[in-house]
Structure 1
């Protein structure tokens, strides 16, 4: 193993490499019966890699230059095909039209419908594609707007759907009062646990007041779309 005071060798002809790099040679050449220690093997590997990297460091610091003129930002390809989505939606509408045009249709959403009378058994299945799945038998319900309804199933379960930040403040009593007066609104406190403070880029908890109500469109269409189902 090398040791002592470092000596600068100007001429390496005839020199024994073991005298200069003995610690590497000792690692490579080992006697028979030597038990490999995985931990020490890893230490030696890191040591040699560290020495290699340290000796190869460029003494000049890295310089970062910014080029803004003539810079073209990469625009990712748009993996969209609106015509396919439109065709699928149109096909679904054609299939759903005989059901959503019924007089006893209380509510409909993309692929679902709430009816006052049961459907024929041949169009109901929980496993066959293209057929309806019977989710619930409704005893009483309020269907006020898209994604805004509440009903009590015959089994006793209470299903409530309301889209918006104040959905936890909405209950069955709210649906009943809203059905009586669709233009009714109410201010309720809402606790937002994850809001972004754009000035500090921090995630904060914020308490706000939110107006709860229905987004009404044309008054004539509104009176038709808001339905109350009382029995099945």
Structure 2
């Protein structure tokens, strides 16, 4: 993510090793690594590691402000010896802010 214009010689969606423009962002909420919300004007983009479901801007704001989200997930596992797949639904999943690799840098929300 950059805050200015990237020189044209670094941009190409087809040349290996060059960058491509994925989104033009109006506003972003960056909670922790791999957990973010982007407002692109006409669309919203978000990523939340470990949770494949839908989250809202309010969910990301809550995480940013230190709240914990109590979510439900579905887990799949395989027994290769028996040749079976097990599916467990509605398992509890708590999502909370944790910084174990990076330093917190907060501007404002």
TM-score category by the smaller chain? 0.7 to 0.9
Distance (whole Å) between structure 2 residues aligned to residue 228 and residue 117 of structure 1: 20
Alignment correspondent of 1:178: 63
What is the deviation of 1:211? 0.6
Distance (whole Å) between structure 2 residues aligned to residue 202 and residue 123 of structure 1: 45
SS of the aligned residue for 2:58 comes to helix
What is the deviation of 1:194? 2.9
Gaps of 5+ in 1: 1-113
Indicate the structure (1 or 2) with the bigger Cα radius of gyration: 1
Structure 2 contact 63–69 (Cα < 8 Å) conserved: no
Cα 1:143–1:202 shift into 2, 3 Å = closer
What is the deviation of 1:133? 0.8
Equivalent position to 1:221, from 85, 103, 106 = 103
Instruction: Answer yes or no: is 1:144 the counterpart of 2:31.
Output: yes
Cα 1:151–1:227 shift into 2, 3 Å = farther
Gaps of 5+ in 2: none
Structure 1 contact 141–228 (Cα < 8 Å) conserved: no
Equivalent position to 1:203, from 86, 89, 93 = 86
Cα 1:130–1:227 shift into 2, 3 Å = farther
Q: Deviations over 1:1-41 (max 9, x none)?
A: xxxxxxxxxxxxxxxxxxxxxxxxxxxxxxxxxxxxxxxxx
Instruction: Identify the structure with the greater helix proportion.
Output: 1
Structure 2 contact 75–87 (Cα < 8 Å) conserved: yes
Structure 2 contact 76–85 (Cα < 8 Å) conserved: no
Structure 2 contact 62–68 (Cα < 8 Å) conserved: no
What is the deviation of 1:130? 2.6
Q: Relative contact order (alpha carbons < 8 A, sep ≥ 6): 1 or 2 greater?
A: 2
